[in-house]
Structure 1
Amino acid sequence: MVIWLRGERSPLGLDQDVVRREALAQVLELDQGWQAIEQRGAALLAEARAQADALVAQAEARAAAIVADAERRVAGSTRLGYAAGRQQGLDAVHAQMQARARDDRAVLLAMRERLAEVVFRAVQRLLARAPHHGLYQRAAEMVSAELDQASFLTVTVHPGEAAQVRKLFNVAGLPLRPTIIEDAAAGEGACLCEWDYGVLDAGLPSQLAALRKSLRQALDAAAGQAHAPEPADGAAP
């Protein structure tokens, strides 16, 4: 049985009914660190949104000023009778507005990159310090539902965590006894489960890799939208 510190969504849990004072103090300290990271991430996100709103407001103000200046140029050109001056003024307006828009998009993308890296590094540091028994407990629960017709199960982990994993999997009520493979190259927090017709990589490195991939995909999608071709002059909205 695992006792989650702040509900099942908490990244921290205890697999013991009786907890020593030193272990409890360590878990509470890790939980405080996790909450601090969540608060920091929320603050960074709020700051990024505020800066984005400010950039939009500045861009709108600059666009209004550019349009007003263009109107003055067009009016002056019209009074002087230079038809070419009107088109040149409009071309200058379009060029300036497009340049400003590109600059603002670049700033927003840089802010997103920074925020994504801060979130990833914070989660990485916290999970590196947190006990891994909750991770292995979840892996055992996920594998249990897939072993009805299996004839074998191997679990590859770091040697320093083999005893803990063996204990957790033995008490998980699996339909067969797993073979624990100790592999120093797997790294701490690794947990690779293999059976007759399936593989489950539930370890910490794979989860961090998935997190980084997800953040990268989100940034790439945002960058794709930012660099989408702009509509041609005179095109219908």
Structure 2
Amino acid sequence: MPSEPVPLGFVFRSRAKEEKAPVADKAPVNFSKQSRDPQAPKGRPTPKRSEAQSQRRSVANTPLTRKDASKRQREERRAAMERQRQALAGGDERYLPARDKGPVRRFARDFIDSRFNVAEFFLPMAVVILVLSMVRVGSLQNIALLLWLVVIVLIVLDSIVSAFRLKKRLGERFPNEEKRGAVAYALMRSLQMRRLRLPKPQVKRGERP
């Protein structure tokens, strides 16, 4: 009996399956699951220590906003002013203003604070003289004018003597140090009342600096 004809579609599908079968056999099959740290978030391994540190540094180095930067500057300025205020009250050299720092300036302050200065009594005497000059009595007004002249002459003479002595002492005490402006700094301090001077006096009157 003659055999039944084979459909062409069946022949082509069989060949296609035979050609794909070796390729599928050659593909490696990996049934193992990816190991994961039990404490790590799902689907993400635990970062290494170096990576964590670099992430923390990147967060720390994140640029601040203008508002945060201004706030930080205000806090730093406030802390610096507080340290400076305490230094002026206690004489701590580390936080004093630049004009008050150094052994030369400290010696100049101690030199002025250890003696009586005519200039430090200028304000109280000026008040007295002003009151006398306001009284409409000719003799009192003449006395007030005379007192003005006496006070000015005494301040000038005392300042000259103080400057001469201080300059000599500075030359003996600090022969190799920069002393520019120290005498003028001391004379300006002598114009202030002792209790109002900053930094606060660290020596008593009559004590040799």
Q: What is the TM-score when the length of structure 2 is the normalising length?
A: 0.31
Q: What is the TM-score when the length of structure 1 is the normalising length?
A: 0.28
Higher strand share: 1
